[in-house]
Amino acid sequence: MQGIVLTDCTSIGALLSAVRANNIPLLKVVTGWGYTWDAVSRAEVCASIPEVIVRTVSGDGTRGPPEGQSAIWCDPGAILNEIDPWFACRPAIAVELGNEPNGYDSSDDAAWTFRYWFLETAAAVRVSFPMARIIAPGLIEDRQSEWWAICQDAFETADAIGFHAYAYHDCDDTGQLGRALSDLALFFPNKPWVLTEYGINDAATSPETKATRYASLHAKLPSQVGAACWYHLCDRPIDADQESYALPTSALPYLYAGGTL
């Protein structure tokens, strides 16, 4: 299954129309941005898209700790509040707990802290939303294998293991994807894997060419990868980096989508 990561959208109706028209079955959203989420827009997404991954803001290592927090971890109370409106729309929705937590601090101490709070949060989610499908967060490559080793038992409590990889121009020219797949086979051989972010960071490569390469890559992924989310749909990029990854709706016809999460 192929999907799109939504980071900024000016019209949720137009986006959903384009996604449906191109038979894209998966959309990854973030609770705190991407759109001015309200009950109507959340319900529209859940009613329109076969599979939705909801990624939390709490536990995000790309933004630094929130006020009063010295490290990156999943705050159980904050996460329950973040995801509650989404589960009101779809009780069996998939939720990715955190995002690249090793991006702020990749030390062993930070990994042990994240492990503890991931276990606490996953347990709280199971109690409050028993039909939830939990995805362990994708990491950046910095000490990724060390983090997976430390968090292995905690992430095993999830329904699937998320992972991230990026390329400069084509497929796996950085080697990130291949290394991640090797480590996943080592640490999580019996869990489904979800590529919750993958993107080509090259402004000179057209979105249509990127989408064609994504489709080709998707066809080559091992069957244990249940879904791949391409980064990103962003109507208003704020810098050159966001612009270089942009995958507008005009490129969606170049993707082939199918399957189930």
Measuring CA to CA, which residue among 164, 40, 152 is closest to residue 100?
A: 164
pLDDT block averages, 10 residues each, the chain of length 261: 96 96 96 97 97 98 93 98 98 98 98 98 98 98 98 98 95 95 98 98 94 94 97 94 94 72 44
Cis peptide before 232 (omega within 30 of 0): yes
8 A C-beta contact, residue 255 and residue 222:
no
pTM: 0.96
For residues 138 and 196, give the distance between their C-alpha atoms in angstroms, rounded to a whole number: 7
Which pLDDT does position 26 carry in this prediction?
97
Q: How do the domains of the chain map onto residue ranges?
A: 2-254
For residues 234 and 28, give the distance between their C-alpha atoms in angstroms, rounded to a whole number: 12
For residues 97 and 173, give the distance between their C-alpha atoms in angstroms, rounded to a whole number: 28
pLDDT tens digit string along 5-43? 999 999 999 999 999 999 999 999 999 999 999 999 999
Domain 2-254 falls under CATH 3.20.20.80: yes
For residues 231 and 247, give the distance between their C-alpha atoms in angstroms, rounded to a whole number: 7
Helix axes 76-89, 108-128, angle to 10 degrees: 40
DSSP helix/strand/coil, 153: helix
Residue 19: φ, ψ to 5°:
-65, -45
Which pLDDT does position 258 carry in this prediction?
44
8 A C-beta contact, residue 183 and residue 152:
no
pLDDT tens digit string along 146-174? 999 999 999 999 999 999 999 999 889 99
State the virtual CA torsion across 178, 97, 36, 214 in degrees, nearest 10: 10
The answer for residues whose C-beta is within 8 angstroms of residue 176's C-beta and 6 or more apart is 141, 164, 165, 166, 167
8 A C-beta contact, residue 101 and residue 137:
yes
